Structure 1
């Protein structure tokens, strides 16, 4: 267990006051575990060893449970004195109190203590936190048995089950993302798990694996650029190897608990660089045979950028708007809090995976790139990719349009969109409900203007592709910073000349 935590085993005699005094008297986060709770060490480590900025509670997915989770946070909890309206989880009986929320937690507990409500102190604590609108991350217990039962025989049975588990295999399974795309889950990650195990054994770091995947991706792009069938076949194989290795860095980080902002940034950015350099390689390889595919290559880069930005911004906007609904405290002594689920009912398995495929995620995209390049060359790739991308976009944006209409007609309470505008002097989004699409539209306008300039001046080729690629990379940097609630330093934005300045400079340079 992490030495950065205090801990307390909560018994039937433990009081809220005791928990409060222990929390107030320390500067460390406090880990609380019910004496009846039986769980695996890897699941407990989800509270102790993961970097957390808020409190967190272990929960298990159960229909009509005693706890409600919305947007990955505990929205409603229960005790002997409190009930949830509709639950979708059970509280497992393990909770981490964050000192970063100290100024919110202490008054919330003091208020709850004054009412002397009946119930287990851990349950009352969770109720007090969520009813005071204090964020408590919900951490799901999956792939292993657990118990929080008064029945000692039941606890002993679960304890015996846990003893029979292969803990190393469980850690590896927990590190593997089960909610990824269809091709990733059922093919790529079957291989990546093996490589993750090897990486653990040799002591590799997540960043080393990311750079290895990047190097393989670069050689894949180089192979495509040679233009021959055998080189294209090699490039296609290497692209699949690259994405398998790319799965390993995240799995390794989760397995070893080695997380960093640099690692997350590297993982996200290198994926984009690899994909777009593959487009460059395909276009250059085609040019060796006298075919000019620079426009479709740049068009695919623009299409993917439009989609990526809209995907991230829509998801984050939904999350931010959902957070706004947690701003009204609920009376601690009210039996029901009236909070109900907002997420849609889970789809059937077939509909779920069809929905994943239609989103055209990276696994499916790179599979199409590899297969189409081998089957019909670069021209076929740049024909089939836009068609599939537009089909995916039609289905996805249809759903997003419906969800957007259901949003409140007000500006997003966040600098997420403004931090990506790249417009000098702009301090607010132009729209309210549809602000999530603004960065994508701005990038589309800028890219189309630049491509038009390149066509007009007849300068299509590697230099024009690299110019557009560099500008798009700049926008991805803005996106990843915005997702971390950061804004690019003014001097760095000014160095990029902002949107209008770049177009003007490039246009004048080509006209000169």
Structure 2
């Protein structure tokens, strides 16, 4: 329950009380300052509290934006201010010091150091008229603007992909409104999207042409629901800790489950084994995302954060058609899923994976090259926070951490990381399965990984270190499973990489939420990237090919159980951030 304290003398004919109740507030009237202080004192400390001027004239959606957004400790619009329980004491002090006028209370909160969010209202009206004439003018302006149309329009992401903007959002926003009016939550729509994608994966796994066609159609419908859940969250401001976790992880779960369904379907259709391609597509897509995450975290709060390359990018953005071309080149989720759905329905899983891998590889080259150029031409100074975020993304285990305390690298961090990564990947792919050389290469990789993180990652290209580690670990698992050349090895490797990738995505979204990386015990328990790589090479050398497949399966299950248990514990706890991450452009 939330409480709104309406201060000042009531205005005849005002709909303010009804509007506040429609937004879920328990309304209390406080004609003078003493009444306001007394009303504030009776509100339980665990409730959201709003102080609203009785003379307020404005749209309901303006009140919704200013008073009900759960992402901000304090927020304000002209004539109204609201705080969460975390800022309640600051509100009490502000009312005592400045009285009960909302605008003065908001200024007092800011002066005392409380961040007060002021939403962009655009055409929406929010005012406290001083006389009957200005009140009449405000009401005329109120009647001239359809706040529902604005609410519907702003439910769509400001920056989105071409496919989503022109093929999905024109109707998915209405689906979001339909869901809101029937009391459905974004989390329920997100879950429906996941279930639809899993059914699509099941259809693909049948290996029949009708199954492939149904899979493509269902995958597109899953994407429609995926867009709808975010639009529903923005439409109704239903942001939550659990929603942040679901939204952040289900997209990857849906896509990678669909890859597995396609791989099974290929086997059932004509015995075609495309598990290596499925795993390769997952590795490539995950590494692309890590490049994005690392670059963004490295430059999140860097000073002097400009470059000629960025200036050129901004100049290109001023030319309308180049914006869409550049967004399509990177093959965002909307274009990618549409491509997968069409190819699934019309071709074979092998063709689907090859086209996907080539497209994602070209997109990865384009984005990575652009970010490298930006980094080289940018005279930025990275902060300790950015260096810590990169260290957390590196996912260094106890071996690398111990060695990093006693050794220092004479080479730049990305170079030494790449040397070890290339060594272990090349040896795993070029030597016979079961030999000792991958173990030697993995031991070298442990040393180079430690050297790469032995200093704070503040160098120009140090954001490349986490992607190099991800590619090294994932590709080593893939190549060893492929070299085993036994039934079950590649599916088991797919499961292991999926479990580890989930851990890495979970790390990213914790950092984005401002809560830091997963606990140290979790990283130690699952070995860190260098520890897992060494273990997989040891298992490949010590076990038979059949036992190797079984061992990979056991590792996959163990990592998944530990990581999921801790992730679920965190994201449903009160300590998780109430955020709504926009994720990659759809």
CA displacement at 1:153 relative to structure 2 = 6.0
**What TM-score do the two structures reach when normalised by structure 1?**
0.73
Please give the residue correspondences for 1:242-261 in structure 2 after superposition, counting only pairs within 5 Å.
242-261=222-241
Please name the residue that 1:447 is paired with: 474
Structure 2 counterparts to residues 270-289 of structure 1, below 5 A:
270-288=250-268, 289=270
1:207/1:263 contact within 8 Å kept:
yes
Deviations 1:111-134, CA, capped at 9 Å, x for gaps:
xx9xxxxxx99599769959x997
Aligned counterpart in structure 2 of residue 503 of structure 1, from 520, 533, 546: 533
**Contact 1:429–1:435, Cα closer than 8 Å, also in 2:** no
State yes or no: 1:391 paired with 2:371.
Answer: no
Q: Distance in 1 between matches of 2:117 and 2:365?
A: 33
For residue 213 of structure 1, what is the aligned residue in structure 2? 193
Who wins on radius of gyration, i.e. which is larger?
Answer: 2
CA distance in 2, matches of 1:104, 1:201: 35
Q: Residue 233 of structure 1 aligns with which residue?
A: 213
Matches within 5 A, 1:295-314: 295-314=276-295
Provide the residue aligned with 1:51 in structure 2. 70
* CA distance 1:407–1:221, shift in 2 (3 Å): farther
Shift of 1:211: 1.2
Contact kept? 1:5, 1:30, Cα under 8 Å? yes
TM-score, normalised to structure 2, is 0.64
> Does the 8 Å contact 2:62/2:121 carry over to 1?
yes
- Does 1:362 pair with 2:361? no
Alignment RMSD: 4.1
Distance 1:264 1:173 in 2: 22
Give the 3 Å change call, closer, same or farther, for CA 48–195 of structure 1 in structure 2: same
Q: Distance in 2 between matches of 1:344 and 1:135?
A: 30
Secondary structure of the residue aligned to 1:417 is: helix
Q: How many residues align?
A: 443
Distance 1:221 1:501 in 2: 32
- CA distance in 2 between partners of 1:123 and 1:395 (Å): 50
Q: Quick one: structure 1 residues 412 and 165, their matched pair in 2 at CA, closer, same or farther if it must change by over 3 Å?
A: same
2:532 and 2:340 map into 1 onto residues whose CA distance is 31
**Secondary structure of 2:347's aligned partner:** helix
1:167 deviates by 4.6
Aligned residue number for residue 490 of structure 1: 520
What's the secondary structure of 1:192's corresponding residue? helix
Equivalent in 457, 461, 464 of residue 484 of structure 2 = 457
* 1:344-355 matched pairs, under 5 angstroms: 347-355=318-326
Structure (1 or 2) with the greater helix fraction: 2
Contiguous gaps of at least 5 residues in structure 2: 9-32, 402-452, 544-586
Does structure 1 retain, via aligned residues, the 8 Å contact 2:55–2:128?
Answer: yes
Cα distance in 2 between the residues matched to 1:122 and 1:201: 32
Of residues 508, 518, 529, the one that matches 1:479 is 508
1:224 equivalent among 204, 215, 218:
204
386-395 vs 150-159, greater mean Cα deviation: 150-159
